[in-house]
Structure 1
Amino acid sequence: MGFDQYHEPAHELPEQTRTFARMIASLGEEAEAINWYEQRISVEKDESAKAIMQNAQKEEFKHFGMDLEFLLRQKPLWRETLQAILFKEGSITELGEKGEKAAE
């Protein structure tokens, strides 16, 4: 895998920005792995194999959450926006609008 997550010359970016880029890439990779397992689980007929895949998917989901939490600690505005959306009942789009306004 290359290092194409940078849109600016890596040597010009501060270490904090490079770490941020790595964590964003990791978050995407975890989401992709969760998706792959979801697809595999949905078609797997062998219950033992399916159970192993479900266990592996749980690990990927945990990693996704850890990556997201790291990023939210770096970007308080993101946390403020997401607190208005996540774990709430109601229209997701309406909650999103409220979260965006709260973070302004």
Structure 2
Amino acid sequence: MGFDQYHEPAGELSQSVRTFARMIASLIEEAEAIGWYEQRMSVEKNAQARAIMRNAQTEEFKHFGMNLEFLLRRKKEWRAELKEILFTTGDIVKRGEAGEKKAD
């Protein structure tokens, strides 16, 4: 069974880079699952089935957050950049641009 998650030869990558790649892949998978549940819930007629899907989606949110936090703890510059955007108010684009200016 092959894995195509690396863009460079896996044997040349350090263990920490390989772990990082796995966590990025997991983050993407969790985001996809969140989207799938959103679509399923939007068309599901049965209220109990929707409630179960909502519960499952909440688990995916938790896993997404844990993956993101793992990555942010290893990439301090990412954390600094995202601090300007996440859990703030106001225009998201302007917040992102403000973060870019601070990084310069």
TM tier, smaller: over 0.9
The reply to whether residue 3 of structure 1 matches residue 6 of structure 2 is no
SS at match of 1:64: helix
Measured in 2, the distance between the counterparts of 1:40 and 1:17 equals: 35
Deviation (angstroms), 1:2: 3.8
Within 5 A, what are the aligned runs for 1:1-104? 2-104=2-104
Encode CA deviations 1:24-52: one digit per residue, 9 max, x unaligned: 00000000000000000011110110000
Identity over aligned pairs, percent: 70
Deviation (angstroms), 1:101: 2.1
Check whether the contact 1:37–1:57 (CA below 8 A) recurs between aligned residues: yes
Structure 2 gap segments, 5+ residues each:
none
Encode CA deviations 1:40-65: one digit per residue, 9 max, x unaligned: 00111101100000000000000000
Deviation (angstroms), 1:83: 0.3
Segments of 4+ moved more than 6 angstroms: none
Measured in 1, the distance between the counterparts of 2:56 and 2:2 equals: 26
The alignment covers a number of residue pairs equal to 104
Moved more, 15-24 or 81-90: 81-90
Check whether the contact 1:33–1:60 (CA below 8 A) recurs between aligned residues: yes
Check whether the contact 1:80–1:102 (CA below 8 A) recurs between aligned residues: no
Encode CA deviations 1:65-96: one digit per residue, 9 max, x unaligned: 00000000010000000000111111111100
Structure 1 gap segments, 5+ residues each:
none
